[in-house]
A and B are shown apart, each in its own frame.
Chain A
Amino acid sequence: MSNVEDAKQSAMNSPLELAPDSWAPGNGPDPLIQHNGGRIGASVSRVDGGPKVRGAAPFAAEFALDDMVYAALVFSTIAKGRIATLDTTVAEAAPGVVLVMTHRNAPRMRPMPLFGTSEKAAGADSLPIMQDDRVRWNGQAVAVVLAETREQADHAASMIRVTYETEPATTSFEQAKANGTETAHLFGHDVHIEIGDAEAALAAAHVSVDATYRTPYQNHNAIEPHATTVAWHSDELVMHDASQLVGHQAWSLAHIFGIEEEQVRVTAPYVGGAFGGKGLWSHQVLAAAAAKLADRPVRLALSREGVYRLVGGRARTEQRVAIGAGADGRFDAIIHTGTAVSGRDKAAPEAFAFPTQSSYAAGSFQIDVQLAYQDMVTNTTMRAPGEAVGSFAIESAVDEVAVALGMDPIELRIRNEPDNDPITGRPFSSRHLVEAWRAGAERFGWAKRNPTPGTVRDGEWLVGMGCAAATHLYVRQPGGAARITLTSDGNVTVDVAAHDAGMGTATAQGQVIAERLGLEPEQVSFRFADSRMPGLVAALGSSQTVTVGAAVAAAQRVLVAELLKLVGHDSPLAGLTTEQVGVLDGGLAKLDEPARHESYTSILAGAGRDEIAVEASAPPPVEMMNWSMHSYGAMFCEVRVNGVTGETRVSRFLGSMDCGRVLNPKTATSQFRGGIIMGLGLALTEQTHFDERKGRIMNPSLAEYHLPVHMDVPEIDVIWTGIPDPHTPMGARGIGELSITGTGAAIANAIFNATGKRIRDLPITPDKLM
């Protein structure tokens, strides 16, 4: 019998302990970090796959409500000023039109409560929405048409005439910087860190690099454009939305419309990708307002252009990275400073210095992120905010140091591996990046790389290899809560107001719940994305898996306690406490005496109960304050750059990840591949064309915003250390955003190895390599 089978066998015979009731130091780990009951770790296909393929999955724009009308929007064409004239008469007379809503007749509403300003605030900005004649960005909605069909609404919208009085706007980055910048503020701190005298150490260093890296505006481009279907039932608002934070959104909508939180219900059963872009924006508020005005349900589905006009993306950055190193490669100084564009509210700063705050040991640090205000649709979180573009800069700079020293870039990184968090001094909860480097280098064939740039040629093509580190902060949200309903047939339903935008939340949670409760997977239903469910869990920060996992563990403790109250005097479990029992074979058993076992169905039958429902909140995420917690990766890339045309093709990619326990290899691999593909776009093709003359986005379409297409994407290999984190639920850490980090630099570094050209300005289009 193999070791694995051994472990499995013993797992099946001995009860599984309950998770600790706190994640503070001193507690034991979650037994699920290594328990092998066959659920966790299985490559389970996504539970939403079938319904989606069959067209049976209702997305936000597919809820058909009685008497529903369709919305179309008119967008402003200036960046700043006021509406001078607004002629809606022709549109109002057009066929099928129910009404036209503008600032003149829109209901009075409070601005959106800005995300981060209170526990449940969801707003992407705090600007007034159609409450006055002011224009605050180019693309702002200035009119909403409701009509009996979508086509009639679109037609009527094209007949609305608007003229503007323009005012001077800040729409150029140079102007924005000249106007003065502010230090970014995140997680309660200014993003400004000084340890030692980094400039002096840089000047004195044996070798140094000092360069500016630039990353452009980018947009999320989820395949499902934002959409919402809303209905008022007297004073109650129901919104079926493409949302990644239903709980926050329900509270925020209540605030905006001056009603109670309980009067709003937001659902998002299926969401076609979110990536940080599907929070609360003006269009949901406008849909709800228009539905109120018309007293009819409204479906508002943004066109792709509409998404670009109303929903912000990733902000442009300009970053200085300077590193000074000794002859042995050890870093004496790391400087990572610069400026990102921001909306006025500065709610989602593109804090690019994140990766530098935990990646390397150094004698001194200088870190500073400034924000420069521009009049444009406010920027927001986009997959690995800060880390995706910041890792491009720092990981390119590390490669430049390796070149300057004539040292292998992997060895250089390992030489600067920190023992503790280099900024806070906290111990790492679990950091096995060196193992990831070693395993990745072996698998990728790194030893075959020719370190001399521009020397490997295959016909017209120059071939190169590059690498970079990936890193993403571990987050567990404080609002995790879950309800477990156990029925007399032994089945379990778990409700959490969490989200699955295609990343596999429900699939992985189904596995975890089955394993934690000792059930077969088909006995478990995981329901989510309804604001009336317990929990305040946004799909942000790659944090849902552990946030929900901790909540379910907490609810399980309550469930077990309740079940023990129900057991009869003659039950094998009679007289036992929660500390004495564990989970075994669809029931509970005494930890040290597994024969004392009673199934859930037997307990409920004995108590004459059809079901038992419990609800609990997860303990606070104190682990984040006690350890430095991150997921890591070692990214390897081979590129071919055409010597004639400058076209780049990524020919091989490997992500070697260290992300704690992998719950579902299939969905995890898919997440990693998706992140790497998005990183490939970041490196080579993606750029939102923001015309600084008028502050207008000029490529609001999938034809002209160049995401990677199939032919751009090579086979992507993914491996992981599989080392569980002893301080997290299930031993897992976040994986959703991890692999977009590092990827851009791995590609840029491979391009340098292929061509000898160091491109510090993304995206790396052919003209930059000619």
Chain B
Amino acid sequence: MIPFTYTRAGDAAEAVRLAGRGDVKYIGGGTNLVDLLRETIERPAALVDVTGLSSAIEPRGNGGLLIGAAVRNTALAEHRDVRTRYPVLARAVLAGASGQIRNMATVGGNILQRTRCAYFYDTEGSRCNKRSPGQGCDAIDGFNRTHAILGASSSCVATHPSDMCVALAALGATVHLEGADGARTVPLTDLHRLPADHPEIETVLEPGELITAVELPPLAAAARSTYRKVRDRASYAFALVSVAAALEVDNGRVKEVRLALGGVAHKPWRAWAAETALRDGPATTRAFRAAAQAELAAANPLPDNGFKIELAIRTITAVLGELAGSDA
């Protein structure tokens, strides 16, 4: 770990002011950032603690929910409105990490956690374009069973590790930002970038820009939603593939559907193609599988992770089938 200064901000404005545009990282629960500091992957001169930001979950006038960036993962998953109106989100959060980690981890920090690619973490011993731009990528020809099948590049095949973000992507959440140039909002699905030639740039955040809240839109379909995570052990493992889905079926037809995938790309992957294929179509297993296949048509597997394509197709099909229930 490299020495750094530590300051605690009282609110968002103070945090942004403290951060300026310098070599600063915001720290929430620290459940990922402290690891990155220990591995000397992150070497900021200063940390600004933003756990003093809003930790409230408040109803919005339009029927949505505003979730403060400092809300702990545990509190988010336990919140009544989240559990009843957006069960996919509660289930996604509970599918991640462990109880102790969820007690510490914040919503803002969860969104900005970094990949768990082994070569990214091997500071001294491996090449990584994300850690050291231009160095090369040892994952592409190395262990890549857990890596991306969608949207990857020749520079980087890492995946985004968050479960929560997959649910947020499906729900169409927007992220509230505050920076030196003022406040703005960005759809969660536009916040993370695909790697292209610059995998080191993971989000559209400007230097010093801070996540202050996440807003969930009102979404009737979300009342029937769920999250399914497939992994190598029953708990405490990152997703091989995960599926966040919401489905509203009317008279055997898909009225509304939301679908996002985790464990498959550099960002939480909203399955737009599958949604388009499904909307207003029949709510049948056959249609679900066809839509999943349509989404995965663009998949480009690595030597070790080809199984993820079929796994994603099967899991999407099963999750939609479960949500459709007797309506299918």
| B235 contacts partner chain A, Cβ-Cβ < 8 Å | yes
Binary CB contact string for chain A from 667 to 694 against chain B (1 if under 8 A, 0 otherwise): 0000000000000000011000101011
B-side contacts of A77, CB under 8 Å: 124-125
Question: 16 extra interchain contacts, Cβ-Cβ under 8 A, other than A645-B315, A647-B230, A647-B231?
Answer: A155-B3, A158-B40, A460-B318, A694-B126, A696-B126, A698-B126, A698-B142, A699-B143, A708-B233, A709-B234, A709-B235, A711-B233, A765-B232, A766-B230, A766-B311, A770-B307
A-B contact pairs, 20 of them (CB 8 A): A77-B125, A151-B1, A158-B1, A645-B230, A645-B314, A645-B318, A691-B143, A694-B125, A698-B119, A698-B122, A698-B143, A699-B143, A704-B118, A706-B233, A706-B237, A711-B233, A711-B235, A712-B233, A766-B232, A766-B311
B236 at the interface (CB under 8 A from A): yes
Residues of A within 8 A of B314 (CB): 644-645, 770
3 closest A-B pairs by beta carbon, nearest first, are A711-B234, A767-B307, A77-B125
Q: Is the CB of B235 within 8 A of A644?
A: no
Q: B117-142 vs A: 1/0 string, CB under 8 Å?
A: 01101101110000000000010011
A307, chain B: closest CB distance, angstroms: 15
A685 CA to B240 CA, complexed, in Å = 13
Q: A694-B125, A711-B235 given as contacts; is B311 within 8 A of A767 (CB)?
A: yes
Interface residues in B173-225 by Cβ distance below 8 A to A read none
Q: Is A115 an interface residue (CB 8 A)?
A: no
Q: Count of A-B contacts with CB under 8 A?
A: 85
Scan residues 225-278 of chain A and give those whose CB is less than 8 A from a CB of chain B.
Answer: none
Are B230 and A704 in contact, CB atoms less than 8 angstroms apart?
Answer: no
Q: How many residues from A make CB contacts under 8 Å with B?
A: 35
Contact residues in B for A75 (Cβ distance below 8 Å): 124-125
A649 contacts the other chain (CB 8 A): yes
Instruction: Give the residues in chain A near B58, CB-CB below 8 Å.
Output: none
Q: Which of A686-728 contact B (CB under 8 A)?
A: 689, 691, 693-694, 696, 698-699, 701, 703-704, 706, 708-712
What are the residues of chain B within 8 A of A709 when measuring CB–CB?
233-236
B310 at the interface (CB under 8 A from A): yes
Chain B hits for A151, CB < 8 A: 1
Chain B residues with CB under 8 Å of A155's CB are 1-3
Number of B interface residues at 8 Å Cβ cutoff, please give it. Answer: 34
Say whether B116 faces chain A, with CB atoms less than 8 Å apart: yes
Q: Is the CB of B311 within 8 A of A645?
A: yes
Kindly state whether residue A148 has any CB partner on chain B within 8 Å.
no
A682 to B230, CA, bound (A): 20
Instruction: For B145, list chain A residues within 8 Å (CB).
Output: 767
Q: Which residues of A contact B310 (CB under 8 A)?
A: 770
Q: Are B125 and A158 in contact (CB under 8 A)?
A: no
Give the distance in Å from the alpha carbon of A219 to the alpha carbon of B239 in the complex: 23
Inside 8 A of A684's CB, which chain B residues have their CB? 233
Bound-state Cα–Cα, A649 to B314, Å: 19
Distance, CA A435 to CA B65, complexed state (A)? 64
State the CA gap A645–B142 with chains docked (Å): 24
Q: Which residue of B lies closest to A78 (CB)?
A: B125
Chain B residue numbers with a CB within 8 Å of A698 are 118-119, 122, 126, 142-143
Residue of B116, B142, B235 touching A691 (CB-CB under 8 A): B142
* A48: chain B residues within 8 A (beta carbon): none
In the bound complex, CA of A93 to CA of B124 (Å): 21
- Of A151, A154, A158, A708, most buried by chain B (CB within 10 Å of CB) is A158
Residues of A within 8 A of B40 (CB): 158
Contact A138–B311 (Cβ < 8 Å): no
Cβ contacts under 8 Å, B141 to chain A: 693
